Amino acid sequence: MIKKIGLFTSGGDAPGMNACIRAVVRTAIYHGIEIFGIERGYVGMIDNMIIPMNSHSVSNIIQRGGTILKCARSTEFMTVEGRQKAFVNLETHGIDGLIAIGGNGTYTGGIKFYEEFGIPIIGVPGTIDNDLYGTDYTIGYDTAINTALQAIDKIRDTADSFDRMFFVEVMGRDAGFIAMDVGIGGGAEAIFIPEFEESIEDMVAMIKKGWGRKKTSQLIIVAEGDEHGNAFEIAEAIKKRIPDFEYRVTVLGHIQRGGSPSARDRVLASRLGQAAVDGLIKGYNQEAVGIVNDIITYTPLAEAIGKRKEISKDLVKLVEILSN
């Protein structure tokens, strides 16, 4: 029987985390379980930044971006001594179950912590990258791609006005989900993502082909983790092959993480928050909650971070077809 749950957000923030916090807190209260918020993730666990939460604690937060529990990255938690401090603090509060909202690093820390101290943990996928296996979508992804798309639409306007090519860099250090969706949605001529190796020579040929069709502006989307480098490096590589090539580079950066979450992210976060509490009650442990084909699922944490979530090759083909 789970009597006291500790809840925290860790790693990078994502729109919808507050909606998930709200759902976890109110679901726990519904089942008569005490709920504690751990501020600043694993840092707060070590520094005893643990506070009791009630229904009022999560009032009027569902529409807010970021996370009221704050995020942080902890090097101390990577040590045995740091994890021991965290365990003592949780034990002092009587916490016998954990819910972690975050991504790969958050899940990795949760696995290690359970192995050493045996506190059951459920992971909730909170990352704009959408790169966790075991769920069709992660919390924050829908908001991030819509934020990026709004910016890209504006860039397209100025690209058309000046007859220029724009390289737009979006987030995605290890995964190209954001780049792929905003590229297709924004009508990009090409998309560079880590999952597939694109040819600079093919890009040069495409640019020249576009000019031959009197195409006056072109838009290239680059995931920050592409194997050719960032948007500046790719643009420079093309300029070496086309000396009179004129371009501009825009890096959208952390704007993609902020803002009020979309309706889809609020609903997704609420469903996953409830399912996380339900999972602990049912005795699930070291599982990541997710939604696949609109059905709640549970995937082992090790599998959620160990298996690669694939981008459909059909989407890659679609980009090629639509860029003509």
Same-domain check for residues 48 and 77: yes
pLDDT over threshold 70, residue 216 = no
Domain total in the chain: 2
| Enclosing domain of residue 282 | 4-140+261-306
Residues 144-187 pLDDT 10s: 999 999 999 998 887 777 667 888 999 988 889 999 999 999 98
Span 54-74, average pLDDT: 94
Least trusted range by pLDDT, from 7-11, 120-124, 264-268? 7-11
Residues 310-323 pLDDT 10s: 888 898 888 878 87
Give the pLDDT confidence score for residue 218 in this predicted structure: 80
Which backbone phi and psi does 123 adopt, to 5 degrees? -100, 145
Give the pLDDT confidence score for residue 217 in this predicted structure: 67
Give the pLDDT confidence score for residue 212 in this predicted structure: 58
312 within domain boundaries = no
pLDDT over threshold 70, residue 94 = yes
318 within domain boundaries = no
Confidence of residue 204 (pLDDT cuts 50, 70, 90): confident
257, 285, 319: which is the final residue of a domain?
257
Return contacts of 116-121, CB within 8 angstroms, 24+ apart.
116/80, 116/83, 116/87, 117/83, 117/87, 119/87, 119/90, 119/95, 120/2, 120/96, 120/280, 120/283, 120/284, 120/285, 120/286, 121/97, 121/285, 121/286, 121/301
3-state SS, residue 290: strand
Same-domain check for residues 127 and 275: yes
Same-domain check for residues 63 and 188: no
Same-domain check for residues 8 and 128: yes
321 within domain boundaries = no
Same-domain check for residues 131 and 150: no
Same-domain check for residues 208 and 94: no
pLDDT over threshold 70, residue 215 = no
Same-domain check for residues 76 and 110: yes
233 within domain boundaries = yes
Higher-pLDDT residue of 5 and 310 is 5
Residues 16-58 pLDDT 10s: 999 999 999 999 999 999 999 999 999 999 999 999 999 999 9
Task: Kindly report the CATH number assigned to the domain that includes residue 219.
Answer: 3.40.50.460
Same-domain check for residues 111 and 98: yes
Span 280-300, average pLDDT: 96
231 within domain boundaries = yes
Same-domain check for residues 129 and 32: yes
Write out the two tokens for 209.
């082909």
Same-domain check for residues 84 and 215: no
85 within domain boundaries = yes
Least trusted range by pLDDT, from 93-102, 103-112, 214-223, 244-253? 214-223
301 within domain boundaries = yes
Centre a 10 Å sphere on the Cβ of residue 305 and count the other Cβ atoms it contains: 23
* Residues with catalytic function: 129
319 within domain boundaries = no
Report the percentage of the chain scoring pLDDT > 90: 66
Same-domain check for residues 136 and 10: yes
Q: What is the pTM of this model?
A: 0.92
Same-domain check for residues 102 and 177: no
Give the pLDDT confidence score for residue 203 in this predicted structure: 80
Higher-pLDDT residue of 132 and 12 is 132
Span 109-124, average pLDDT: 95
Span 215-235, average pLDDT: 80
- Residue type at 171 in one-letter notation: M
Task: Kindly report the CATH number assigned to the domain that includes residue 299.
Answer: 3.40.50.450
CA 164 to chain centre: 31
Can you give the length of the chain in residues?
324
